[in-house]
Amino acid sequence: MPEETQELDARGLNCPLPILRTKKALKDLGSGDVLKIVATDPGAVKDFEAYASQSGDELMEHSEDNGEYTFYLKKA
């Protein structure tokens, strides 16, 4: 697992809120910083893949465990 700079708890939020909160959190981070996001919305997997390809931020890793999805995004 990458070492995160900050963590965002997006559990219980449905699309598009996990992405919107992520965008807001990334504004406060510097280039190369890593944001860890924990979400429960199954649609978040596709949302974060699409977000990373459009934003230029790197989706370093993602996993699912017991209905919780964890993402590591590295700010460009």
Q: What is the pLDDT of residues 12-59, one digit of tens each?
A: 999 999 999 999 999 999 999 999 999 999 999 999 999 999 999 999
Residue of 4, 11, 13, 15 marked active site = 15
- The yes-or-no verdict on residue 1 having pLDDT over 90 is no
Q: According to the model, what pLDDT value does residue 18 have? A: 97
pLDDT band at 8 (very low <50, low <70, confident <90, very high): very high
Q: According to the model, what pLDDT value does residue 56 have? A: 95
Q: According to the model, what pLDDT value does residue 2 have? A: 87
E strand spans, the chain: 6-10, 34-39, 58-65, 68-74
Contact 32, 74 (CB under 8 A): yes
pTM above 0.85, yes or no: yes
Q: Is 15 among the residues known to form the active site?
A: yes
